[in-house]
Amino acid sequence: MHNTLTDLARCIYGDEHGPAPACELDWAHAESSLIERLTFADAEEILTMLRTLCPHLVDGYLPVRIRNLAYRLLLFQRPDDPALMRDAADSPYLHGPDWDDIAEELKQRADALEAQ
């Protein structure tokens, strides 16, 4: 039933862009399963989840904490990808000034990579 990270996330949080399947897992167990699966997912699987469930960043039901964790894990796997850094920076910008310094640092790192 949960063949992919996207399927598991869709089952837990729903999906405004497609049908959410019924899930037999209780919410607390399901979220811990998602975090475990996310922790060890490869970059393509994480990107697929983000682009499927939050294609325009401001939409989708994926919680901010899960989205930010996903971007952090992506940047560990692709530390020299300026486009990904900019995408990752957009998420904290959307959720208040508390994380603006993190977002700005990511954009500066992306600029520096592109300047090389």
The pLDDT of 30-57, averaged and rounded, is 93
Of the spans 9-18, 27-36, 38-47, 63-72, which averages the highest pLDDT? 38-47
Instruction: Look at residue 107 in the predicted model and tell me its pLDDT.
Output: 95
Express as a percent the part of the chain with pLDDT over 90.
54
The pLDDT of 43-47, averaged and rounded, is 97
User: What is the residue extent of each domain of the chain?
Assistant: 5-115
- Averaged pLDDT score across all residues of the chain: 89
Specify whether the CB–CB gap between 53 and 15 falls below 8 A.
yes
